Amino acid sequence: MSLSHESFTSPSRRAVVTAAGAAGLAATLAACGGSGDPGSDASGSGASDSGTASGSGSAKGSGKGSASPLAKTSDIPEGGGKVFKEQQVVVTQPTKGDFKAFTSTCTHQGCTVASVSGGTINCPCHGSKFSIEDGSVKHPPAMSPLESMKIEVSGDEIKLS
C-alpha cells in the first residue's frame, strides 16, 4: 500500500516541478532574446554615429600651428637661405641679421623650390631662380616673383607671423 502511494505521488510531483521549470526557463529566454538583441544593436550604432560627429568637429578646431619657431637664426647662412619644405617657406639672410621669407612654391608651375645657392632660390623643375633679397625672378621661365611671407625674429628664433 505504501509502495503504490509513493509511486503515485512521486511522478506527479516531478511533473509539476518540470513543467514549472520549463515554463520559467522559456520565459527567461524569451525575455533575454527579445530585449537583448535589438536593444544592443540600436544603442551601438547610435553611439558610434555621435562619436564620429563629435570627433571630426574637434579635429577641425585644432588646426593652429604657427606658434612654434620655424628655425634658429643660426640655421640660416648669411648670403644664403634654407628651404623648409614642411612649412612651404624659404628663409633667407641676404645680409647679416636681415632675414626674409618667401613661399617655397615656384610661380612657374608650382614645384617646391629645392635649394638656395649663389644668391638665388632655385627651382629644380625648369631652372627658375629667384632673388634671396626680394624673391624677384633672376632666371626664367618663371615670370612672377616668389610671394614674400612675414616672419618675426625674436632673440635667436625665427617664427612665421
Least distance in Å: CB of 103 to ligand FES? Answer: 12
Minimum distance from residue 79 beta carbon to ligand FES (Å): 22
CB of 152 vs ligand FES, minimal distance in Å: 28
C-beta closer to ligand FES: residue 82 or 108: 108
Half-sphere exposure at residue 87, Cβ-oriented, CA atoms within 13 angstroms: 22
For ligand FES, the closer of residues 121 and 158 by Cβ is 121
Beta strand 151-154 pairing with 157-160 = antiparallel
Residues of the shown chain interacting with ligand FES in the complex, contacts defined by CB under 6 A = 106, 108-111, 123, 125-128, 141-142
Q: Are the C-beta atoms of 137 and 108 separated by less than 8 Å?
A: no
Nearer to ligand FES, 89 or 158 (CB): 89
State how far the alpha carbon of 105 is from the alpha carbons of 65, 94, 126, in Å. 19, 20, 13
Nearest distance, CB of residue 111 and ligand FES, angstroms: 4
Residue burial 94-103, b: 16+ Cβ < 10 Å; e: rest = beeeebbbbb
- Are 159 and 91 in contact by the 8 Å Cβ rule? The answer is no
Helix, strand, or coil (residue 93): strand
Nearer to ligand FES, 125 or 151 (CB): 125
